[in-house]
Chains A and B, each alone.
Chain A
Amino acid sequence: MRPTRLISLLAALAIVVAACGTGGGGSTTTTTGGDTTTTAEPSGSTSTTSGAPSGESIVVGGTLSLTGAFGATGNIHRIAGELFVERLNAAGGLLGRPVEWDLRDDESVTDNVATLYEQLISQEGVDLIIGPYATPNIQATMPIAERHGFVLPQHTAVLAPTLNYACQFPAWSIGFTPNEFIPNQLADAMESLGGIETAALVTNQSGSVSFVSYGRADVEEPAALEILPERGIEIVADIPYPPGNTEWDAIAAQIRSADPDLVMLNGLGVDANGLMEAMLALDGYLPPMMFALFPAPGPLLALAAEHDYGILSVSMFEPNDTVLEGLPAEAAEIAEEFAERAAAEGVPYTTFETQAAASWNAWEILVQGVEGAGSVDHEAICDYLHENGADLTFVGHVDFDPAKNNFWDTNQMLKQVQDGDWVVVWPEDRAAAPLRGPSN
């Protein structure tokens, strides 16, 4: 019995090894002493090298959801971070020292996050930390950072009032009250079109988006449900659905019979694809206007473009020519390099956009804080950032006001699918193209 057991196991192992061998290309992680670090490697790209960094490495610790429910976006943040660290080292490192990124996989499990940050800080003795991806994970990291007095730049948690650690620095801001800002911005845009009088509000119950429809559960605060009617858009259907929803057909049927001028889908991931496909199956029905809050950009772009549908979403950065014009020259270069890397890994949608930009912002905030403080002393970094703010490649200058939990004035824009691309259309002064209304 024993030999056959061994043989079966070896056979299983061999199959797996063979399967893995075909994928996973493009990873830039290298190993030193049991830790994974991303170190300076001469990349094939065109980045300029100015003086090799020397001395002991500065180690930045962090986790990302590389597997599990948040894996799709978690890996976008990984690619962006790896690119950033490489460019940083190629450009002379930080304080003249090379930077290493000790990245761990939190498996999209919030319980793991706190343990791993504790491990990175107290056992691995990392010099700096950078936040994880996804709101629950960031919420779980904040107390650890606070306990150790570490500066925490974080990518994507936008519900400002709940993020009250003084040295937490958001890389993505929708202002202090996103629950008001997002519906108002959408209402502004709709007002400019005219004729938008009714809306269906469709909401994923996830904590990452539902506050935009209803506000927080335990606080009385205005959100889309109140704001849209105030702005003259009557809500004719209010449909909450659970994460992992399978009832798109029922929602689509309900929307079609309510016949709204606008569908505000406060959803995540591929929710917008599910709803659009279900509506299209109803004899090709699509509402005159539709907005999707935090969609996976690739699949939605593909579907909307196939049907030439001008769906709207939010954006902090899109590599549109007009947007890039207002930014440093590097911006375009970074976006291009990112796309090359993502393509090499086999990622289907390779555009450098909001998520990757948020990642870039977080790294820039950290690096500028350290450079400004002249050391990796966290108090000094935190003070420097409060006093001086940061200059972000993809956003411009931002100020961190502790009274607003460091949430800066938002640069949030609306983007629309136009002629097979995501195009910034709002606000008008930063638009790459005019907002298109319901044409057909």
Chain B
Amino acid sequence: MSGASRHDRGWILILLLLAAVLVLPTVREALGSDVFPGFYLVLLFQILFWTAQATSWNLLSGFGGYFSFGQGAFYGVGAYAMAVVTGRQDGSWLVAILVGGVLAMVLALVVGTIAFRLRSLRGEIFALLTLALPFILLAVARLSDAIDGGQGVIVPVPEFPSFFDTFQDFVFVVGGLVAVLAVAVSYWMSRTRYGWALFAIHDDEDVAEAIGVPTFAHKMYAIALTGLLAGLAGAVNAMQVGFVTPEGTFNLRVPVMVIVMSVLGGRRHWAGPMVGAAYVTILQNRLQGGTLEGWSLIILGLVLAALVLLAPDGLMARFKRRRWLVAGIVVAVPVILDVTGLADDRVWAFAAGLGVAAIVGFLPVRKVAAVVRSVETAGSPVDESVAPIAEGRVVAETVEVRKHFGGLKAVDGVSVRVHEGEILGLVGPNGSGKTTLVNLVSGLLPVSDGTIRVNGTQTSGLRPHKIAHLGVARTYQIPRPFPSLTVRDNVAIAIMFGREPKSLSAAREEADEFLALVGLSHRAESLPGGINLHERQLLEMARAMATRPKLLLLDEALAGLNPVEIDNAVEVVRRIHRSGVSIVLVEHLLRVVNQLATRIVVLDQGHVLAAGAPSAVMTDPKVVGAYLGRRPDAAGL
């Protein structure tokens, strides 16, 4: 995986696209209208317009996984900005486009501020919330005479710069620039922390926060860009169409189209929406011919259903392995058809190229044997020679912390301190409040009452990623790796969002060190779905360590392992501890706790039952009673 060269390849493609957009009007003129009819420009404009729309939708909804039906609202705000500024106010087209983009962005930010502030917000609810948006704007546009009043607004042909030969050339170039901008933004995000934050949010938002991703901010960046780009493209399209009506603008057509395009093309890839836009636009155009009267929607519907069924991850995922072959087909088939005169219509020739490419995409791929890169632990990022730091100052403490769920007191007045260099065993029967306490310290849940301090800083009210940056990392009882990222990237993303932000390539390099620490180097290229439970738990530890914590909360990190695996894991925990990290070990297995912990705290029914040295605590009659299920008399607090 040569990150740098692929990096350049993407930018080269985007520059080529930009150049094509800029020179096409000149080329068109040189070729003459017999070879290059004006219609090609219009069709290409449509592909570019949908590329911009679908790509903009994909930032929040594809990368980030927050499905939005509000695209029609952002698009419509842009379209009406153009209509009102140029049609009603005699403003210039440039002002209109900028107003459209900015207003749509403001609307997006308002939606984001309201929606993303909700803790209970699920993706489903966000989708439905955005579904209502176009309907509200539709009613507003109809009711307001200043915007529309219901009758539609004519968008006049603007005064465009004189170096454009025709209006169509002008609109094409402006629309093309917006599309290139959208694709460039998408590509840039997919290579930087802005995109990777969204990938992490898409896969597991809680975990993303816990490793230090400021999820709210990144969702807001994404929705703002979605709104901005959709508004810009909407404004340009209004110029092209020349007439806007409320019902033609604020409807479900735009959201449905962008969803279809992005899903067909592939939501994870920056170019996916562009590929989808090309396919759907060409297919639709070909179906509008009267030949297919009575069949067009049937074909469109079946093609859509079949493609989603057969390639649920999108065409880009299919093309990836043979991108040169596919690119060759898309170019060669139309050229051959055109030169040989087999197709009397170049759009059909182009459509044929896309069709053949899609079929090739579905041919089975010869499985390349996974290269097992077994890198031996050459050097560990932590200096293991250093002896554990003597127990010293307090790293974290909880003071009289309570957490109530309705009437249930999960944690009820717990005060615990963790000292530097210590491995604190946190034990207790099921439901005693151990995991809740971990969730409180890592900030996943807000406390009902009491104080938590990390390195002297009070954490109540802080988002989990802030707490992560204070030096708290955690693992999950049931491992929660980001399923769509490789093992290496799971670790790299934690490095990218550490206290000191790092670039993707730097983070990837550094990630290998943490994989070595837990002995997972040979799995670096695998997806989490392809490794076993033990390896996933090691991955959790590597990812947590990659945030460079001062305190590591291991929530039953050894649950479900066989004895050999447990011994290995114990060794890894020791290695981590030797590097100077304080550890809270939440564990069921008393053998492990006894082996590792320097001090033990026992919880029962939300209270601290006992605390102290392992040998003393384990023989405490109250503790024995709690573990045996007998209610100790002394516990009647």
- Chain A positions near chain B (C-beta within 8 angstroms): 5, 9, 12-13, 16, 20, 23-24, 27, 29, 31, 33-36, 63, 66-67, 69, 102-107, 109-112, 114-116, 118-119, 121-123, 125, 135-136, 139-140, 142-143, 147, 162, 205-207, 210-211, 214, 216-218, 242-243
Contact = CB atoms under 8 A, between A and B. Distances in A.
Given A110-B241, A136-B243, A207-B245, A102 B151 contact: no
Nearest to B243: A139
B46 A35 contact: no
Given A29-B290, A206-B247, 12 more contacts: A9-B309, A13-B302, A20-B294, A20-B298, A67-B296, A122-B37, A123-B345, A123-B347, A135-B152, A136-B248, A210-B149, A210-B150
Contacts of B150: 205-207, 210, 217
A324 B36 CA distance: 50
- Chain B residues touching A, majority SS: helix
Interface string B235-254: 00100111101111000010
A9 B306 contact: yes
A109 B344 CA distance: 27
Contact of B39 (A119, A139, A140): A119
A119 B38 CA distance: 8
A28 B150 CA distance: 37
B43 A119 contact: yes
A177 B436 CA distance: 74
Given A104-B289, A114-B242, A243 B248 contact: no
Nearest to A13: B302
B152 A36 contact: no
Identify which of A24, A114, A121 gathers the most chain B CB atoms within 10 Å of its CB.
Answer: A114
Given A5-B309, A115-B43, A122-B37, A139 B152 contact: yes
Contact of A140 (B40, B157, B242): B242
A36 B245 contact: no
B288 interface: yes
B241 A243 contact: no
Given A27-B293, A123-B37, A210-B151, A118 B42 contact: yes
Contacts of B92: none
Nearest to B166: A147
B311 to A, nearest CB: 11
A206 B151 CA distance: 6
Interface in B133-182: 139, 142, 145, 148-154, 157, 166-168
A135 B243 CA distance: 10
B253 A109 contact: yes
A112 B288 contact: yes
B33 to A, nearest CB: 6
A277 to B, nearest CB: 24
Contacts, number: 141
Contact of B289 (A36, A121, A135, A217): A36
Interface of B: 33, 37-40, 42-43, 46, 88, 139, 142, 145, 148-154, 157, 166-168, 237, 240-243, 245-248, 253, 285, 288-291, 293-298, 302, 305-306, 309-310, 344-345, 347-348
Nearest to B281: A115
10 contacts: A16-B302, A27-B293, A63-B288, A66-B293, A67-B296, A109-B248, A111-B46, A139-B243, A206-B151, A242-B142
Nearest to A205: B150
Contacts of B310: 5
A123 B39 contact: yes
Nearest to A140: B243
A118 B288 contact: no
Given A114-B241, A122-B38, A140-B241, A102 B290 contact: yes
B293 A105 contact: yes
A185 B295 CA distance: 44
Nearest to A116: B288
A113 to B, nearest CB: 8
Contacts of B305: 12
Contacts of B42: 114-115, 118-119
Contacts of B241: 110-111, 114, 140
A20 B295 contact: yes
Contacts of A243: 247
A114 B167 contact: no
Contact of A114 (B153, B157, B240, B297): B240
Nearest to B248: A110
A217 B145 contact: yes
Nearest to A211: B151
Contacts of B240: 114
Contact of A31 (B43, B291, B298, B306): B291
A89 B540 CA distance: 78
A69 B248 CA distance: 10
A207 B291 contact: no
Contacts of B145: 217-218
A112 B288 CA distance: 9
Given A16-B302, A136-B152, A210-B151, A110 B291 contact: no
Contact of A105 (B43, B157, B290): B290
A143 B285 CA distance: 20
A104 B288 CA distance: 6
B148 A34 contact: no
A93 B145 CA distance: 48
Nearest to B144: A217
B167 A147 contact: yes
Nearest to A31: B291
Nearest to A110: B248
Given A140-B241, A140-B242, A140-B243, A207 B152 contact: yes
A203 B190 CA distance: 50
A216 B309 CA distance: 48
Contacts of B157: 143
Nearest to B88: A218
A7 to B, nearest CB: 13
Given A119-B39, A122-B37, A210-B150, A111 B237 contact: yes
Nearest to A115: B42
A436 B295 CA distance: 47
A325 B500 CA distance: 90
Nearest to B298: A16
> When A and B form their complex, which 5 residue pairs have the shortest distance between CB atoms, in order from nearest?
A217-B149, A36-B290, A207-B151, A205-B150, A122-B37
A21 B173 CA distance: 45
A118 B290 contact: no
Contacts of B295: 20
Nearest to A214: B149
Contact of B245 (A16, A66, A110, A147): A110
B245 to A, nearest CB: 5
B291 A35 contact: yes
A5 B309 CA distance: 9
Nearest to A105: B288
Contacts of B151: 206-207, 210-211, 216-217
B302 A12 contact: yes
A242 B248 CA distance: 14
Nearest to A135: B152
B400 to A, nearest CB: 57
Contacts of A218: 88, 145, 149, 153
A435 to B, nearest CB: 31
Identify which of A20, A125, A205 gathers the most chain B CB atoms within 10 Å of its CB.
Answer: A205
A115 B289 contact: no
B192 to A, nearest CB: 34
B290 to A, nearest CB: 3
Nearest to A203: B150
Contacts of A140: 241-243
A109 B153 CA distance: 16
Contacts of A121: 38-39
Contacts of A105: 288, 290, 293, 296
A9 B309 CA distance: 10
B256 to A, nearest CB: 12
Contacts of A5: 309-310
Contacts of B247: 69, 206, 243
B302 A27 contact: no
B269 to A, nearest CB: 24
